Structure 1
Amino acid sequence: MNPESWSELLDLVAGATLETLYMVGLSGLVTLAVGLPAGVALYLIEPAGPCPLPWLHRPLSTLVNIGRSLPFIVLLIAVIPLTRAIVGTSLGSSAAVVPLTLGSIPFFARVVEAALREVDRGRIEAVVAMGGTLRHLIFMVLLPEALPALLAGVTLTLVMLVGFSAMAGVVGGGGLGDLAIRYGYQRFNTEVMVATVVVLVLLVQLLQSLGDRAVRRLAHRR
């Protein structure tokens, strides 16, 4: 490749990387805002939980299971009408945030539920015995005690979102996946394919290493 071609390739990859970061960042924030309360609720109201409500837990758990069972590529296509209603279009990075969020919320909710189950039951029973409210139980025991596991779950979810964002390129979702398909696969451009794969691997490695480091620091402080 000549210098001009390399410059064009770098511009394309840089722009696609920014779009991918935008999609992962925004969908990650929405997933955290919705998935965390959903996971806490799943734990609290399960039959063996602190506030058992089996009649509510069953439909909520079923809804989460349905969301997790759908392959992401199917979800991408199935929610196109919803995406158009929310964003006004089914193409581009902003439109991809809708299926990315819907696909990751059920997963993260289960991660939160599993993390809270690891909290020492004795501490939970002690708070309840001392007359602690539900707010005390959640914010003074459950979330602080499960914080390392929750942070590991956030890291896992963000890494998953990077992969989902690349898959969104199949339907014109923008980002590195869209670049790989339109400029790499469809135009038989090996350089573009290699460049997008390298950047995706680096993003995953960066997110995982930062998450692991944060989890270790929290664990050492406990």
Structure 2
Amino acid sequence: MKAVHFLVASVFLALASSLASAADPSPLQDFCVAINDTKNGVFVNGKFCKDPKLVTPKDFFFSGLNIPQKTSNPVGSTVTPVNVVQILGLNTLGISLARIDYEPYGQNPPHTHPRASEILFVQEGTLYVGFVTSNPDNKLFTKVLHKGDVFVFPIGLIHFQFNIGKTNAVAFAALSSQNPGVITIANAVFGSDPPINPDVLAKAFQLDQNVVKSLQAKFWWDNN
């Protein structure tokens, strides 16, 4: 009987180990430059990739991240992403980058990256930043950042940046995914298509239904 119990335990341990490792595998080649044309692609490591013989330095290159972006929009900021869409050579490498420009009192509104942690470096200006932990604590961690400071936002947590200075600010973010994704909270909740039933939001946010409808009627700006 003990032998049977041992055998069953061994099977469960083996299964648990298998499930624990059921994540994206590490690349099995030097690079896998993404390609949309599957007819001319080579299937490598679960992805369609450009034939390595046809890969050029341009596949790993992006220019213009030094150029300030316009921030005259409702939130007062603009995000310039550099992910696998902009650099096809980032495919399978698990990293990406972004530049964020803020006008005075502009902000990168509360949002999440479902597939990446983020590390933020302030090049110019003064930013008030923070993130909120998951339920049930919902603890807020905040910090005022100055030029040269760095702050980390853990994967999936709601976070924000707010330019509290009187001059423009610039920050650069590195993210642990080739395509981190972004969910801006207000946009997703009040700007969904089609709209969420106002009864749901009125009860969830403890608001009058007219307030909810007013919020849903607004134009929710995407600063990405």
| TM-score between both structures, scaled by the size of structure 1 | 0.22
Q: Which is strand-richer, 1 or 2?
A: 2
Which of 1 and 2 has greater Rg? Answer: 2
Higher relative contact order (CA 8 A, sep 6+): 1
Q: Counting helix residues as a fraction of each chain, which structure ranks higher? A: 1
